[in-house]
Amino acid sequence: MVQKRILLGVTGGIAAYKSAELVRLLRKAGHEVRVVMTGGAEAFVTPLTFQALSGEPVRTSLLDPEAEAGMGHIELAKWAELVLVAPASADFLARFAQGMADDLLTTVCSATEAPIVLAPAMNQAMWRNARTQRNVALLVDDPQVSLWGPDQGEQACGDTGPGRMLEPQALLAKLQAPVDGVLAGLRLVITAGPTREPIDPVRYISNHSSGKMGYALAAAARAAGAEVTLVSGPVALVAPDGVAVVPVVTAADMLAGASEAVDAGCDIFIATAAVADYRPDQCADQKIKKSESAMSLALVRNPDTLATIARRENAPFTVGFAAETTDVARYARDKMQRKNLNMIVANDVSRPGLGFNSDDNAVTVFWAGGEQPFEAQGKAELAAKLVALIADRYCDRASAG
């Protein structure tokens, strides 16, 4: 693990007491730590505690003539190789998301070129609040910023839900994740594209899926260090470098191909394929001739690849996709529970220019106790963010045992 110069920002939340332990763990792991506290934080823990644990003076004020004699805030911003704000209060997230620089911590965050990691901590209603979520969406969209947590569970105020700061040990574990990619050493199986369900030798039932999202995820996962197998329906796309492709046609092939790939070893299974729910009961041996003015096809249910993999005894961490046209969040959460998924990525395919067959997508990701919206953006850019979030949730589950 690479030792870093870490600037720890502590804001005014009850979890500030845990940051004292975090400083101790970071120092023990060999990192250099300097602490900046907001005015709110000082009401919870004294600077003396952090000074003793970090072995460095603690800065609390921006407009401090002595500390700023040498432009201390810029020196701090340049010194930091990583800025970690833990806990990050709702108030800090709001100010930072808006680009404000009205105290030392937000000013240093604005001035630094180092990556900035935020570990939010707040009451569950504050976290769920639509304004907080809008601020979070802005921050997640910022390539300099990563969000770690929040966790869910019992809270200091007696509520239960999302908003707890990740434990200091979990934050340290994330910092120590391999430097060569968040998915290094992990095996991913990703399904992509449509399926084709034959009616006769020349006709089939299919859908508008282009496979672009699945292929973009495969490329992003590969770039993040994973070993990737892409089980792909018929698409007009070139496989990303370094990704193994298993071509399939029908839903039955998709299940067989995905099952075999998962059997070969799979830590994370991501199902983006638009698998046909039904297939013609019979596939005619010869081309069906035009005769009657109308004809009907009897359809039967196809096997459900996603649910089959997710319900296995030792199922991989499973991420589904839900393309909906109405009531997206409700259907997505319902699908996640019904199919026993760890996460679901929901997109509203009724929005013009987004989703199916397009280069852009806007989605909301749901998991037990959390959700994360992603604004409309290119599928490659979105894929990188989804991979980071999936890796995050995967690590959290793994560290929770």
Ligand X SMILES: Cc1cc2nc3c(=O)[nH]c(=O)nc-3n(C[C@H](O)[C@H](O)[C@H](O)COP(=O)(O)O)c2cc1C
121 touches ligand X (CB under 6 A): yes
CA-closest candidate to residue 311, choices 251, 271, 365: 271
Place of tokens 């823990």: 45
Of 81, 91, 324, 381, the residue at the interface with ligand X (CB under 6 A) is 91
User: Is 266:230 a contact under the CB 8 Å cutoff?
Assistant: no
Indicate the Cα dihedral angle 120, 123, 129, 132, nearest 10°: -20
Annotated catalytic residue: which of 157, 266, 283, 395? 157
Token reading at 8: 């720890």
Q: Which residue, 122 or 306, is less far from ligand X as judged by CB? A: 122
CB of 102 to ligand X, least distance (A): 9
Q: Which residues are 346's β-sheet partners? A: 322, 364
Query: Is 89 a binder of ligand X (CB under 6 A)?
Result: yes
Cα separation, 233 vs 381, in Å, equals: 23
CB of 157 to ligand X, least distance (A): 8
Structure tokens at 254: 């998709």
Q: How many residues bind ligand X (CB under 6 A)?
A: 16
Give the residue ranges of the annotated binding site: 277, 287, 321, 335, 339
Among 80, 86, 90, 384, binds ligand X (CB under 6 A): 90
Q: Toward ligand X, which CB reaches closer, 165 or 245? A: 165
Closest CB to ligand X among 163 and 316? Answer: 163
Say how far apart CA 1 and CA 372 lie, in whole Å. 30
Contacts of 400 (CB under 8 A, 6+ apart): none
Q: How far apart are the first and last CA of the chain?
A: 22
Dist CA 59 CA 39 (whole Å): 10
127 binds ligand X (CB under 6 A): no
Piece in contact with ligand X (CB under 6 A), picked from 83-91, 245-253, 255-263, 326-334: 83-91
Instruction: Using the Cα atoms of residue 138, residue 140, residue 142 and residue 144 in order, give the sign of their dihedral.
Output: positive
Query: Is residue 14 a contact point for ligand X (CB under 6 A)?
Result: yes
136 belongs to the binding site for ligand X (CB under 6 A) = no
Residue 162 is a binding residue for ligand X (CB under 6 A): no
Let me know how many helices (H) and strands (E) the chain has, helices first. 14, 19
Specify whether the CB–CB gap between 121 and 79 falls below 8 A.
Answer: no
The residue (of 95 and 385) whose beta carbon lies closer to ligand X is 95
When binding is defined by CB under 6 A, the residue of 80, 116, 122, 363 that contacts ligand X is 122
- Please tell me whether residue 83 binds ligand X under the rule CB under 6 A: no
C-alpha triplet 124, 41, 89: angle, nearest 5°: 30
Residue selected from 4, 6, 9, 12 as contacting ligand X according to rule CB under 6 A? 12
CB of 91 to ligand X, least distance (A): 4
Alpha helices in 278-358 (DSSP H): 305-310, 328-338
Q: Which is nearer to ligand X, 89 or 302 (CB)?
A: 89
Q: Does 306 bind ligand X (CB under 6 A)?
A: no
The Cα-based distances of 26 to 20, 73, 186 in angstroms read 10, 22, 26
According to DSSP, the β-strands at 203-205 and 197-200 are antiparallel
> Do 10 and 38 contact (CB within 8 A), yes or no?
yes
Q: Would residue 109 show up in a list of annotated catalytic residues for this protein? A: no
Among 4, 7, 9, 11, binds ligand X (CB under 6 A): 11
Q: Is 205 within 8 Å of 279 (Cβ atoms)?
A: yes
Residue 146 interacting with ligand X (CB under 6 A): no
Using CB under 6 A, which of 19, 22, 23, 38 touches ligand X? Answer: 38
Minimum distance of ligand X from residue 385's CB (angstroms): 24
Q: Which of residues 39-58 bind ligand X (CB under 6 A)?
A: 39-41
Task: Give the DSSP H/E element, type plus range, for residue 54.
Answer: helix 47-54
By CB under 6 A, is residue 394 in contact with ligand X?
no
Closest to ligand X by CB, 77 vs 126, is 126
Name the minimum Å distance from CB 25 to ligand X: 20
Which residues sit in the known binding site for CTP?
A: 277, 287, 321, 335, 339
Q: Quote the least distance from Cβ 61 to ligand X, whole Å.
A: 12
Applying CB under 6 A, which residues contact ligand X? Answer: 11-15, 38-41, 89-92, 121-122, 126
Q: Which residues are catalytic?
A: 157
